[in-house]
């Protein structure tokens, strides 16, 4: 039986890297997308290969539709199909809404939502023709609840949730499932600008009184990609330790 292939955007570190390792350990070829962090992507690939898994790296700015299409074609040339897509690439922005510049908004929305649209659009024709495949979007609990000083980020993550629900309805008749994971506070580089006071406040709002790890999100994605969840689509799975947004 041929291995399935997962394409993971923004996979050079954090949640994407954890997903690549986990999926590879569970029999997938891991197509690792990166844009700027080539060294980290190469290191991840080598780690997976040393463990007997399949992996290859693919450079692409997902906000560019042409690059997204070319990347998908390259993945298919290497592995024949894309069986699962994890739209993980994203950037954060913290600050007052009144200080938000037009350039800030354009880049934030280009990567976080347009990127997911571009790559999804490039993989879907083949999935639809095979009547098989799944798409998993990595959003955020902020897309559900919003947060002060993260208005723009909350907005694009909410857009990703709406995209998930609508696309699931559109491609469901073709046998394609589309779901979303909404992480809470996960210990990645994205949270490096938070102060100790901020972190303590967030931990106090979390029922489990602990922060999540990238692997927690990777496990949720693996579940949503597996046959165990074959009757689940259009859903938002919060993996947040019981975070209560005030």
Burial of 141 (0-12, 13-18, 19+ CB in 10 A): buried
Tokens 């993980």, located at residue: 88
Residues 225-244, buried b or exposed e (16+ Cβ, 10 A)?
beeebeeebeebbbbbbebe
| Contacts of 148 by beta carbon, 8 Å cutoff, 6+ apart | none
Catalytic residue among 28, 79, 153, 231: 153
Does the annotation mark 153 as catalytic?
A: yes
Span between the terminal Cα atoms of the chain, in Å: 49
| Contacts of 162 by beta carbon, 8 Å cutoff, 6+ apart | none
Give the distance between the most distant pair of CA atoms in the chain.
Answer: 55
Instruction: State the catalytic residues.
Output: 153
């Amino acid at each position: 039986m041929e291995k399935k292939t997962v394409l993971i955007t923004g996979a050079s570190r954090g949640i994407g890297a954890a997903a690549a390792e986990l999926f590879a350990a569970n029999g997938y070829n891991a197509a690792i997308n990166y844009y700027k962090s080539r060294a980290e992507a190469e290191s991840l690939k080598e780690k997976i290969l040393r463990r007997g898994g399949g992996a290859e790296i693919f450079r692409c700015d997902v906000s560019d539709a042409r690059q997204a299409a070319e990347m998908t074609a390259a993945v298919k040339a290497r592995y024949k199909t894309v069986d699962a897509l994890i739209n993980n690439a994203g950037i954060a922005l913290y600050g007052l809404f009144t200080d938000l510049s037009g350039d800030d908004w354009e880049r934030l929305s280009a990567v976080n939502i347009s990127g997911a649209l571009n790559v999804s659009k490039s993989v879907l024709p083949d999935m639809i023709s095979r009547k098989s495949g799944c798409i998993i979007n990595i959003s955020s609990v902020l897309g559900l609840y919003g947060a002060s000083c993260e208005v723009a980020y909350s907005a694009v993550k909410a857009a990703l949730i709406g995209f998930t629900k609508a696309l699931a309805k559109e491609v469901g008749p073709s046998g394609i499932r589309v779901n979303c994971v909404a992480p809470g506070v996960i210990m990645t580089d994205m949270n490096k600008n938070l102060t100790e006071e901020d972190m303590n406040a967030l931990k106090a709002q979390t029922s489990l009184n602990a922060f999540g790890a990238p692997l927690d999100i990777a496990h949720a994605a693996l579940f949503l990609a597996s046959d165990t969840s074959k009757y689940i689509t259009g859903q938002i799975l919060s993996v947040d330790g019981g975070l209560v947004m005030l």
